[in-house]
Amino acid sequence: MKISTKGRYALRMLLDLADNPNNGFVALKDIADRQNISKKYLEQIVPLLNRPDILQTNRGHQGGYRLAKDPEQYTVGEILRITEGSLAPVACLENTPNQCERCENCITLPVWEGLHKVISEYLDNITLQDILDQYHERNSSDHYVI
């Protein structure tokens, strides 16, 4: 499984919004500048995220975007499912129940199910707040070599 640029940039956009909550609504241009991402590319990602449970939008002079919830309420898994679709490592696991005609006799199915479970559990247990906390912890401590 490979996460596309769209998924990575959506995560960076939401992290930028989470890290700049005091600014109210944040202009897409400001996010693009801070994240070194093309504004036009972000404009293509916004429609995927422009849902009441993900983003709030405001048009006009003070317009922009902000998170609809607190950063600890967004998981990486949720964001990637919105932008990437399924996180399943093989096509036959994209639907529940499994629609594959061979699933009853597939010798490798348990391998793919196990991988899917590990991926989902891992990504569903990392929040935007977790990423920000880890980032700030890593970058706030002064390391001196004596």
Share of the chain above pLDDT 70, in %: 95
Q: What is the CATH number of domain 5-140?
A: 1.10.10.10
State residue 141's pLDDT score. 64
What are the CB-based long-range contacts (under 8 Å, 24+) for 130-138? Answer: 130/72, 131/15, 131/76, 132/15, 132/18, 132/19, 132/71
Q: How confident is the model at residue 48 (pLDDT cuts 50, 70, 90)?
A: very high
Distance from C-alpha of 93 to C-alpha of 11, rounded to nearest angstrom: 24
pTM: 0.88
Average pLDDT over residues 83-100: 89
- Whole-angstrom Cα distance, residue 134 to residue 71? 13
**Span 92-111, mean pLDDT?**
90
Backbone angles phi, psi at 75, to 5 degrees: -105, 155
* pLDDT tens-digit map of 26-40: 999 999 999 999 999
The predicted-structure confidence for 63-76, as pLDDT tens digits, reads as follows 899 999 999 999 99
The pLDDT value given to residue 142: 58
- Give me the pLDDT at residue 30, please: 94
Where is average pLDDT lowest: 41-55, 74-88, 128-142?
A: 128-142
The structural domains of the chain, with segments of one domain joined by +, span 5-140
The DSSP output letter for 127 is B
Provide the mean pLDDT of the chain: 91
Nearest residue to 87 via CA among 57, 115, 55: 115
Return the structure tokens found at 87: 């996180």
pLDDT (average), residues 46-60: 91
